[in-house]
Structure 1
Amino acid sequence: MPTLKNSLILTAYIIIFITGLPANLLALQAFAGRVRQPHPAPIHILLLGLTLADLLLLLLLPFKMVEAASDFLWYLPELVCAITGFGFYSSIYCSMWLLAAISIERYLGVAFPIRYKLSRRPVYGVIAALISWVLSFGHCTIVVIIQYFNSTHRVTDESNITCYEDFTPEQLEVVIPVRLELFLVLFLIPMAVTIFCYWRFVWIMLTQPHVRAQRRRRAVGLAAVTLLNFLVCFGPYNISHLVGFHVKASPSWRAEVVVLSSLNASLDPLLFYFSSSVVRRAFGKGLQALRHQGSSLLGRRGKETAEVANADRGTSQTEGAPSSDYNTG
């Protein structure tokens, strides 16, 4: 029977899944269509890579749900544990470096606009995305190594098998230093790069008189969402690595901050919205479709009443509401 803490963790995972998956699928469709066009911009390649990282995390989230529902005991095959941990943590760290690459692209675009436009090539976005994926997946092979070569479930009996949670002293001698290296290389460096680039990006956007107020608001929103990702989603989880290195053990609150790291998959669609007009249009169409379905459902449900009151006016209102809301969108 799961405890209250585990029930809250399970609930958080479910909310992240049902909010993040449809938004990221919409973003995937938008970015994939944009990248397939001739001469795609590097920013769209980077945003597509970030979307794929989020979707990988979201597709693995049901296994984390099962784990939380099972009181963090692992009853699935060991191979599933290794694959889930490897993909889950790799996607988190990949997102950090992709966010840093996006911030660099944004800063260069406003700080050196002419030089950037002349030298902008789609291959640069591909290279940056590949570096992010290789860095994160390469570092997170430690999950597979620990799980297979010195399996974590050997520290308990067969009825208390865990997945990458409990470690022997010998395992901690490997895990703790590696987590510190993850903190330094895959969190601290990209966060510092991101903060510098967005500080300069926002300052330039706010001080240029020819920049429209709407673009300034989007620039501030983009920087705010990215900073929120690092401080709220990624920060606590990576601080647990630092604390673990100091006390030579995994902090007892690690499971809670892993949930916060998953939250970035729900926050990134906001970043996509502020970053790309392609996504804004896709989200607008998606919302319009939902509202149209809701209006149709309400129209069918109240059809008899509407016909008795005023059939023509009821039909006009049902058909016209969705489109009129998006005349200015």
Structure 2
Amino acid sequence: VVQKHFFCSVYILTFLIGLPANLLAICTFFKKLGDKPSPNDILLISLTASDLVFLLFLPFKMYEAAIGMKWYLSQTLCSIASYVFFTTIYTSSLLLMAIAIDRYIGLGFPFKYRLLSKPIYATAGSVIIWLVSAAHCSIVFITVHMPDPNATVPKTVCYENFTEEQKKILLPVRLEIFVVLFMLPLLVCIFCYISCICILYSRPHINKQKRQRAIGTALCTLTIFLLCFLPHNLSHLVGFSSNDSPWWRYYALLPSTLNTCLDPFVLYFSSSTFRESKTVSLLKRWCFRHKKTKKSENELVIVA
């Protein structure tokens, strides 16, 4: 019962925080589309769209958790929900990598970047990323709908309890996903953001705020990879080495949902369009006013 309530609480909290934050972001960026968007804007729109698709399918996870990790809907719906769930997670990791590369090229090679900074390239890159993650995650359909001659009763779980034949196909693909869709983007992001920070600190004329935003983007991205994506992807590595899907895999998948709440921070540090939007400006003003009010109250208490 505690497990059921815990999972439901995390999913509901993610939905309530992630949905308005990403809706705000997508509305802000759509306004920019009519005013010559930059490649960075295109990539951030794709990241936000990925998060929104994820959040729209999150109620299926809520349903699964609410009835004790069981699945009484059709297996076709299970495969669709799981496919979208995993595809959007890995689309996010690849898009975070693309954003890091865009920032690194823009800072390290500004003249080449001006020649190549056309929205069409970012759009093509986003489409390729969606296709790559979608192609890898199609293993969900293959696994769920593999014929099982020994099955005598309908399955009451979704994408769990795999047969030996299913594991022969699934586990090697999961290992490839771990390497290509997690480790590669993580290493590229680390290289790009360390390089960006070094470049910014080697140029004395660049203001302090720009350096702080670069550090903020790097820390947010690293947090998403290590907090949200790492546990689930480690289960792929463990599963391949032990030739079995680990029992804790479902728990490891839970932090992956939190990336939809953290991605808006990447948007905030990466995009002046989002940072300077009316709603975000009002929120910042309200927060600072609230802090000043509390500070004034504390000073009055001390004086009294």
Q: Shared fold by TM > 0.5?
A: yes
Report Cα offsets for 1:190-216 as digits up to 9, x if no partner: 111111111101111122101111111
1:46 equivalent to 2:43? Answer yes
- Aligned counterpart, 1:197: 192
Structure 1 residue 28: deviation in Å? 0.4
Percent identity among equivalent residues? 43
CA–CA separation in structure 2 for the residues paired with 1:238 and 1:119: 33
Aligned length: 290
Q: CA deviation at 1:20?
A: 0.4
Provide the rounded CA distance (Å) in 2 between the counterparts of 1:266 and 1:217.
21
Alignment of 1:291-310 (within 5 A): none
Deviation per CA, 1:84-127: give whole Å up to 9, x if none. Answer: 01111000011111111000000011111122113311111011
Compute the RMSD of aligned alpha carbons.
2.3
- 1:22-65 deviations in whole A, cap 9, x for unaligned? 00000001112212323x21110000000011111111100000
Query: Given the alignment of the two structures, is residue 214 of structure 1 paired with residue 201 of structure 2, yes or no?
Result: no
Q: 1:30 aligns with which of 4, 28, 35?
A: 28
| Deviation sequence 1:145-198 (CA, Å, 0-9, x none) | 11223479x75834x511101111111111111100111111111111111111
Structure 1 residues 73 and 155: alpha-carbon distance in aligned structure 2, compared to 1, 3 A threshold:
farther
Is the 1:155–1:167 contact (alpha carbons within 8 Å) kept by the matching residues of 2?
Answer: no
- Counterpart for residue 115 of structure 1: 112
Q: TM-score, normalised by structure 1?
A: 0.83
User: Equivalent residues in 2 for 1:305-320 (5 A)?
Assistant: none
Query: Normalised by the size of structure 2, how large is the TM-score?
Result: 0.90
Q: How far apart in 1 are the matches of 2:65 and 2:201?
A: 45
Mean Cα displacement is larger for which, 244-253 or 70-79? Answer: 70-79
Aligned twin of 1:235? 230
Q: What corresponds to 2:153 in structure 1?
A: 157
| Amino acid across the alignment from 1:245 | F
Q: Is the 8 A contact 1:205 1:216 kept in 2?
A: yes
Contact preservation (8 Å) 2:274, 2:280: no
Alignment match of 2:182 (pick from 187, 203, 207): 187
Q: 1:19 aligns with which of 17, 25, 30?
A: 17
Query: Structure 1 residue 261 and structure 2 residue 243: aligned?
Result: no
Deviations 1:288-321 (A, max 9, x none): 38999xxxxxxxxxxxxxxxxxxxxxxxxxxxx8
Amino acid in the other structure paired with 1:78? Q
Structure 2's unaligned 5+ residue stretches are 294-304
